[in-house]
Each structure stands twice: as C-alpha cells, then as structure tokens.
Structure 1
Amino acid sequence: MNRLIIISIFIIGLISENAYAQQRPQYTQYATNQFLINPAIAGSQNLDEIKIGGRVQWIGFQDAPQTVFATYHAPFKKMPFQTTMRQRGHHGFGAILIKDITGPVSQTSAHINYAYQHPFTSNLSGAVGASIGVLQHSIDMGKLNFQNANDVIIDRLIPNRFAPDGSIGIWLYSDKFYFGASITQIISNTTMFMPTGEREIETFDLKAHYFANLGYKLDIGPETSDWFIIPSVLFKSIRPASGHFDLNIRAQKSDNFWFGASFRQDDSFSGLIGFSAMQDFAFTYSYDFIISDIGPYSGGSHELTMTFKFKKKQKKIICPDSFWL
C-alpha cells in the first residue's frame, strides 16, 4: 500500500473537525490497563505493577501505526489496614512511556503520575490523580522522498518538536463496580506539522481528549464458583466532535484466566484472552477485526500486554478488588 495513502488517512484523523479525531494511540485492552487513560489509578493496589505492551494496527498497510508502551505505578506512605470510616488514605506514584510510529512520523510521550487514594468504607474507595510530561513529535526526513530536494517546503518541516503535556482524572471503585473520568492532553492548542505528500505539509493543533468509563462485576454460577463477568463501556471525545464509545465484556476466573469481546464504534470488533501465572505475571492478547472503510484492505490489528506484579510486604492498604486492572 502506497505510503502516501496511509499518511493521508492518518492526517484526516488528526485534522478532522466533523468526526472523532483520535490524536493519541488507541488501545483495545484499555479495560485491563486503565492507567494508560487515567492517572488516578496510580497506587490503587498493595503492589508495584509494571505493564509492557505493543500494538500493531491495520496489518497489510505499509507504514501503518505501531505503538509500544510501558507503565509503572505503586503505592507509598501506606497506612495500616482498618475497616472504619476514619481509614486514612495513601499516595500513589507512577510513570508512563509511549512511542507511536506512523511511517516517517513518530510521537514519544513520557509522564510522571501522582494520585491520592482514599477509602470511604471497607468496600468503596475514591481517588484523584494528575500527570505531567512531555511530547516529542518527530519526522524522519530520511523516509521522505521529495521531487525537488531544494524545494523551500522542506525548510518548513520541523524534524523534532517538543510540547508540554498533562492529564487529570478521578476514580471511584469498589468490590462490585468502577467509574472513572479523565482528560488527557490538557495542554492543548500547540501547533504541530505533518507531511501529507511529496510536496505538501499540514498543521494541526493538539486537542484535549475526554474519557469516561464504567464497569460492573457480576458473579456467575453457584456461590462456590470463582467465575464472574465484567460488562463495561468507555466514552471518549475530542471537541468539537460528539464522541465515540467502546463496549466491552469480559469473563474471568478469579485472577487466573479471562476472555472477552469488544466493539469500537464505527471501527472494529475485537476478541481478547489472557492468563495469570503465580499471581506475579499476566499476559493478554487481543485481535481487532476492522469494520470501517479500510476493513477490506486490512488484516486487522494485534495488541499484546505483559504484566509483572511485585507484592508489598509492608503494611497493607485497602483495595476493595482489582478486577478492573
């Protein structure tokens, strides 16, 4: 597939005013890695957690988007476990590193995160969080072929551009449900440059991304069964677009095995499967079947995440459940 076609598709998504225009990477496995879209997750469990993953999008397109990411978060200043309304909260710290590549264009982001977790009861907690970081927008000039190497248009391209970035979020969670809301890329209106062909460039402004998601845990089978299902929904919007939603349902056996399906509005159907080994390592894989206009030309999208958990031996913190991680 011609490089110009895939870059043009990417640009249309970036500068569209009439459709949902995702400027940041999208994730099929958001329901098992909420920290990627909400900084309030940091430190919500009594363990250090590292997730490493990658996504290859639109198989069959030359120079299609590819994303790799790594996240880390942990609690600190933990308080003794109590079951009274006077239970003290604790702090969380985290970091996120993401690199997204589309042909000659790449975007690297690095953030540090802080959250305050506060238990309201033994089964209900809330959190607020924020992150701050930097975006690096790069163009590999060696991958661009200009008809006239002396064209003045080349001088307008900025091979590397940096911009400040940040996000904020809230998180409410219990042993039965979760609700989250967040805004990423809150430092918007920074102008970026992008090549769209052999002799043209386009500009686009960074826009804030709005997320809201809700999930509920439903026990299934007899009381002795450790199987449950988690239906969830994610709403996302970039103004002035009206927004899009993802629907997700996952069946899970304790913390050992899970499988599910997802629907992304106007884009794809997905299947996912995962397992955990010895409570310290988890593996999740998903495949997207594309239903948008590029579906007939694409072999779908693949996403893989590996999770490493390091349990704390110090004083315990309250975490009503971790089915939403």
Structure 2
Amino acid sequence: MRNRLICSILLLVAFVSRGQELTLPQLSQYLADNPFVVSPTYAGVGDHIKIRINGLTQWVGIEDAPDTQSLAADGRIGNKSGIGMVLYNDSNGETKQRGARLSFAHHLTLDRYEDEFLSFGLSYNFNQFRIDIENFDGFDPSVTDDRSTTNHNFDIGVLYRKNKYYLSLNASNILDKDLTKFNPISEPNQLRNYYLYTGYRFSKNKNSNFEIEPSVFFQWFESDGRSVTDLNAKFRWYDFEDYYYVGATYRFLNDQIGDPLYIAPLVGLKKSNFYFGYSYQIILNEILGFSTGTHVVTIGVDLFQGISNCRCTY
C-alpha cells in the first residue's frame, strides 16, 4: 500500500510538471542525430529526406509510467527552404496526449567559402490532451467524465552555423494554454519555454575519421522559472559515409548542478541509408528506489540523397 502511494505521488508530480505542458516530452531524442525534434530551424538541413521513429519508455518497472512514440520527418524544398513534421503519442498513467508539429525553415548563406549560414524556423503545434477516468479507483464527485482539450500553438527559432559550430535559439509554445475544461485557478496557463542548443564538432584534420562533438542544451520555463541543462559528448568514427558513435549526456536542474536527474550513455550507427540509436537514462533522483532508468530507441532512414546541391544543406 505504501509503495503504491509513493508511486502515485511520483506519477502525479510528473503529470503536473510534464504532462500538462502539452508538448512532445523532450529527453535525449535529439542526440540521436535528429536535432529537428527540438528546433524547426533544422528542417531541410541535409541533402536528403530524413525520417526518424523514436520510442521512449520512462521509469522501467513502474506501472503506467510515461511512454512516448514519435515520428519525425524533414526535407528540402528548393535550395533555400525546408519543411518537416513531428507526430507523437504520449501516455502518462491515465493522462493521454497526442499531437503534431508542422515546421518551415528558410536558410541563408552568409559566406559560402567559410560555410557560414543563418536559418529561421517556424512551427505550428497541434495537441489533444485527455484525462481518461475509466480506470480510476474509487469515486471522485469532482470528476464526472473524461476531460479533454485541444490546443494550438507556435514555435519560432533561429540557427547559426559556421563550419562545424552551431547555435540554435528557440521559443516554444508562445501562446497561452486554453484552461476552460480544467481548473483555471491551480493550473498554469503559460507554456512558453526558451531553449538554446549549441555545440562544435572537433576533428584532427579534414581527412580524419574520428570526431568529438561536445554540446549543451539549456531550457528555461517562463511559468515557474525552472530550468534544466544537458551536458553532452559524442565520439564518432567514420567509415567513408557510414559512421558509429558512443557518448553520454548529463542532465540536471540548474539549481542542483551536482545532483543530476540522470546520466545516459549513448550508442548509434549509420550504415548506408539506415540509422539506429539507443540510450539508457540512468535515474539518479528519488525515483531510483522504484526504477533504474528509461529506454530511448531511435530507428531511421535517409531517402533521396542529393536532392539539393546548395552548401547550406550539409
């Protein structure tokens, strides 16, 4: 009984802090060579159509823990623009959400000899959120039927790239949330969050088949001022156009730098046009007593390589 109560409290905390944000849960999926899932500015960056399918199972061992599936695809239109979409389905106990994100990006060449580019991105977000009471235990007079809401929102972003350096600045869910079917007093309606993603790909020389890529992801939520940071490192080995990588990410709340939420080793490969990535997030907070971690699996394919010869596609 005590364990069930503790688990329920943990799930409730997760529901308040994450499920109500009406967005695709953002953990380490973007590190599976798929930064488009965090920023619309990456739509069309690449000389092919990129398709990625992601499965995320959080808190292995806890019943009704968060579980998410997503499909992301983006590609070039013309030589200077790109489009993309993300479809996702997320469940967290008796809360369900599904949604879509449609993105457009435009890429400018600042200096073709220095490979210096500036990109602007815009996304339209659609989300359907529902509380399913079919499996509720007991009777709660304040909840008489399933609660659901549909929300529409937008993301904007800018991306700067020069040689192997990149910096992306973004604002997500810039409109307030519709609270007409929930409690407008206790429920925050500001979903806006701002995030930065930056990194650099180091190699010994242009002919080296080994590369090190440190990167940082920082996210700040306007509603309550909380913020989180990922410190990442990837080591990539090339075999002509194929590659293999290992790495790790370290996530922490910015007021608790020495007390990480999780540490996640990463492995992956690209063979021909097919891609596979895997990460296991080792939980280091209070949930550790009930679950050891979270699985993140990504599979993908790159299609129609060479659809654009513009330098800003690479």
User: In the alignment, does 2:182 pair up with 1:211?
Assistant: no
Hey, what does 2:269 align to over in structure 1? 275
Hey, what does 1:167 align to over in structure 2? 155
CA distance in 2 between counterparts of 1:188 and 1:73 reads 27
Hey, what does 2:310 align to over in structure 1? 317
Deviates more, 1:23-32 or 1:133-142: 23-32
Amino acid aligned to 1:281: F
User: In the alignment, does 2:249 pair up with 1:262?
Assistant: yes
Bigger relative contact order (CA 8 A; separation at least 6): 1
Hey, what does 1:25 align to over in structure 2? 25
Gap change, CA 1:12 and 1:104, over 3 Å in 2: closer
8 Å CA contact retained: 2:221, 2:227? yes
Deviations 1:13-71 (A, max 9, x none): 2599xxxx897512213232211111011111111111111111111211111111111
8 Å CA contact retained: 1:6, 1:64? no
CA distance in 2 between counterparts of 1:292 and 1:7 reads 14
Amino acid aligned to 1:127: S
Match among 167, 182, 204 for residue 179 of structure 1:
167
User: In the alignment, does 2:64 pair up with 1:63?
Assistant: yes
Match among 228, 234, 259 for residue 244 of structure 1:
228
Map 1:35-54; keep pairs closer than 5 Å.
35-54=36-55
Gap change, CA 1:308 and 1:124, over 3 Å in 2: same
| Cα drift, residue 97 of structure 1 | 0.8
8 Å CA contact retained: 2:177, 2:190? yes
Hey, what does 1:285 align to over in structure 2? 278
Hey, what does 1:229 align to over in structure 2? 212
Deviates more, 1:132-141 or 1:311-320: 311-320
Q: Report how many residues are paired.
A: 295
TM-score by length of 2: 0.86
Deviates more, 1:7-16 or 1:267-276: 7-16
Map 1:113-192; keep pairs closer than 5 Å.
113-122=103-112, 123-145=115-137, 147-148=138-139, 152-155=141-144, 158-191=146-179
> Unmatched 5+ residue regions in structure 1?
79-89, 196-200
Deviations 1:233-283 (A, max 9, x none): 1110102314221000000013410110110013001100001111x1110
8 Å CA contact retained: 1:273, 1:285? yes
Amino acid aligned to 1:248: N
Deviations 1:127-149 (A, max 9, x none): 0010113110012221222x23x
Deviates more, 1:201-210 or 1:31-40: 201-210
CA distance in 1 between counterparts of 2:216 and 2:43 reads 21
Hey, what does 1:85 align to over in structure 2? none
> Unmatched 5+ residue regions in structure 2?
253-259
Deviations 1:106-162 (A, max 9, x none): 1112121111011112211110010113110012221222x23xx53123x553210
8 Å CA contact retained: 2:200, 2:214? yes
Gap change, CA 1:27 and 1:76, over 3 Å in 2: same
8 Å CA contact retained: 1:167, 1:185? yes
Amino acid aligned to 2:26: Q
8 Å CA contact retained: 2:19, 2:95? no
User: In the alignment, does 2:263 pair up with 1:308?
Assistant: no
8 Å CA contact retained: 2:103, 2:123? yes
